[in-house]
Amino acid sequence: MAVFTVTDRFRTYGYSLFIGVPLGMGVLLGLLYQRGRRWKWLESLYLLVCSLGMASVWLILCQIEGVICVLMAATLVSFVALAGMLVFCFVDFLLRSFRHRNKLHCLAILCIPLAMNWEASHRPTPPMLEQTTSIEVNASPEGVWQFIPSFPAIKDAPAGWLASGVAYPISSEIDGSGVGATRRCIVSTGTMPEVVTAWEPGKKLEFEVKETPPAMVETNPFGEVHAHHLEGYFQARYGRFVLVPLPDGRTRIEGTSWFVHDLWPQWYWEPVTRHTVSQIHTRVLKHIKSLAEKAAAASR
């Protein structure tokens, strides 16, 4: 219920969800476990694992989240829930002579809804992140450039992390040329409209992203999932291709994206997001490399 409240009512995916809820869960499990029995760590850990497993199954069965997203959050949630249980043990030991110590534990758990409400009304501004990926091509900058503003559909199936349902690029289209031209990056979840802001043939292409389609398609065997974090919580802002001439007529393509993601804590989700963006870059750059090298070979 707490997960549903924070994601559906407050629509925040932050500290109250990924820290507060599992921390409160660990404290509550410790409170329930210690009543009438001696503390045994193996039994308590078994209870924690079973509880987290049941909660995960419930999220999937009720189509609140997909399998991949549950697995992505599992490491953080598990460690925080374990920390909650340890906090309970420590505090309970310090207050062992206090008659109403259990009421204090319950009061701490009841503070979680207040934390959810506060976080929803004081949402921080996510930082702008930058990710660059490069590849070397056996073709001249002029030969590579013809596939930079737009490129035909990528026929290869998505590999690695992109095969999990994450939005992956398919093709790009452009209307016109030069600064002000409109591009469209076609991805697996929709279309990403863009406007060219820098145009230097054979050297550089920059563009501003006007709209970002859903970040992924959830994997759930029990039906379609419409989690709020799929739309608006990851926003691509700008993109750039730079062509660097190398010896022997080769070229290095440097692809850079600027983006924000409104998931907290950032220190946990940022590496996941960066890896995803890097995989997207790699898919596009490998495709451009293949096209440019085939064209170069055919012209010899």
pTM over 0.75: yes
For 35, phi and psi rounded to 5 degrees?
-70, 115
Q: What radius of gyration do the chain's Cα atoms show?
A: 25
Report pLDDT for 150.
Answer: 96
Q: How far apart are CA 197 and CA 144, in angstroms?
A: 20
Q: How many CB atoms lie within 10 A of CB 104?
A: 12
Question: Whose structure tokens read 């452009």?
Answer: 174
Q: Are 245 and 141 in contact (CB under 8 A)?
A: yes
Length of the chain, please? 300
Q: How far apart are CA 132 and CA 255, in angstroms?
A: 6
* Cis omega (within 30 of 0) for bond into 265: yes
One pLDDT digit (tens) per residue for the chain, 300 residues = 555 555 556 567 888 888 888 888 888 787 777 765 676 778 888 888 888 898 889 889 888 888 998 999 999 999 999 998 888 777 766 656 555 555 655 666 667 777 777 777 788 889 999 999 999 999 999 999 999 999 999 999 998 889 989 999 999 999 999 999 999 999 999 999 999 999 999 999 999 999 999 999 888 888 888 777 878 889 999 999 999 999 999 999 999 999 999 988 999 999 999 999 999 999 999 999 999 999 999 886
Report pLDDT for 118.
Answer: 78
**SS3 of residue 46 by DSSP:** helix
Q: How far apart are CA 155 and CA 149, in angstroms?
A: 18
- Domains and their CATH numbers in the chain: 2-121 (no CATH), 129-299 (3.30.530.20)
Strand order in the sheet with 129-137: 129-137, 251-261, 234-245, 204-209, 190-200, 182-187, 169-175
